[in-house]
Amino acid sequence: MEGHILPKECLTNDANAKKLTSTALKSIKRGTIKKKSLIYLELNGCSGNIISLLNGENPDFEYMLSSMVDIKFCNSLMAAEGENAIDLLIKAMGKEYILAVEGAVALKNNGLYNIVGSWKGRPITGLQAAQMLGEKATNIIAVGACATHGGVSAAKPNPSQSVGIEQVLPNKKIINLPGCPVHPDWFLGTLAHLLLYGEPKTDNLDRPLMFYSALIHDRCPRRNFFDRGIFAEKLGDKTCLFKLGCRGPVTKVDCPTRQWNGHVNWPIGDDTPCIGCAQFGFPDAMAPFINYDHDKDGK
């Protein structure tokens, strides 16, 4: 195993997801590590994370995921449906598996606000599925803001009483990947790290330090404008967006260096403020996303 692991510097901040995943694939092919089963459970949300993951490239999500793990269940990607799909889910619980959860857990009416399927004529709620699968999983990854802390699904007034996965699995270690949506690299890199080395180092909110260790503000290419007090007055201005409501100063994630859409751009690069979607408390704690309540001097 020692001959196939990444050098230590590749496991620090700004982890290269491509290196992590390629190393995992090579190790699987060589037989130094074994593929593990993965259950990807979609709960109360918009499915934005699975869409983001499917749009990932370099590495490509579909190819890398199927090559690194055996997908036993995924609401959106599997061909089986109805009770046939739930049957596969039940069978998968008989062996070791990693559980990835997207979406919040709806608690209202014992979870009946979110149904993931039926088994022998009875509905299975997202709450039941999360508790049942979470208790037996070897590792759990919360994928996106809704899964980590409730996110948009738990925004006021929260009629479904949605919460993050940690609220219903208080005794389990959850690896949190907040974001709305999550970046493909954050998920694939975390998954590859689990296969190669076990759980990655995390902060006090259980976020992997290799992705969530530095404030956007500290690595923003417009930081020099902030330091000189030159602030944008409208969207499209090329100066610091802080006075328009940018949440970069309170959001820890590597968007400035990793970027999105094939690693070519990110919100501030497209002249729009960071809305703090990767920070706990999003969206309510980050609102309002745009703020024009200042005078021309930026006060």
Mean of pLDDT values over 65-76: 90
Residue 11 pLDDT: 43
**Which sign, positive or negative, has the C-alpha torsion 68, 264, 178, 176?**
positive
pTM for this prediction: 0.91
Mean pLDDT across the chain: 90
pLDDT band at 62 (very low <50, low <70, confident <90, very high): confident
Residue 106 pLDDT: 98
Residue 15 pLDDT: 65
Q: What's the N-to-C CA distance of the chain in angstroms? A: 57
Q: Which residue has the higher pLDDT, 299 or 107?
A: 107
Q: Which of 18-22, 67-71, 172-176 is least confident? A: 18-22
Q: Would you state the torsion angle of the CA atoms of residues 291, 295, 296, 297, taken in this order, to the nearest 10 degrees?
A: -110
The DSSP string of the chain is -GGGSPPGGGGSSS--HHHHHHHHHHHHHHTSS--EEEEEEE-BS-SHHHHHHHT-TTTTHHHHHHHHEEEEEETTT-S--HHHHHHHHHHHTTS-EEEEEESBEE-HHHHTT-EEEEETTEEEEHHHHHHHHHHH-SEEEEESHHHHH-GGGG-TT-TT-EE-GGGT-TTS-EEEE--SS--HHHHHHHHHHHHHHSSPPB-TTS-BTTTSSSBHHHH-TTHHHHHTT-B-SSTT-SSB-GGGT--GGG-BS-HHHH-BTTTTB-TGGGT-----TTSTTTTGGG--SS---S-TT--
Mean of pLDDT values over 97-116: 97
- 198-249 pLDDT, tens digit each: 999 999 999 999 999 999 999 999 999 999 999 999 999 999 999 999 999 9
Q: Which CATH fold topology does 2-197 show?
A: Rossmann fold (3.40.50)
**Which sign, positive or negative, has the C-alpha torsion 96, 149, 126, 75?**
negative
pLDDT band at 262 (very low <50, low <70, confident <90, very high): confident
- 214-226 pLDDT, tens digit each: 999 999 999 999 9
Whether 292 has a pLDDT exceeding 90, the answer reads no
Residue 286 pLDDT: 95
- 139-198 pLDDT, tens digit each: 999 999 999 999 999 999 999 999 999 999 999 999 999 999 999 999 999 999 999 999
Whether 88 has a pLDDT exceeding 60, the answer reads yes
Mean of pLDDT values over 125-145: 97
Domain layout of the chain by residue ranges: 2-197, 216-286
Q: Which residue has the higher pLDDT, 295 or 169?
A: 169
User: Looking at domain 216-286, which CATH architecture does it have?
Assistant: Irregular (4.10)
Residue 95 pLDDT: 92
Whether 2 has a pLDDT exceeding 90, the answer reads no
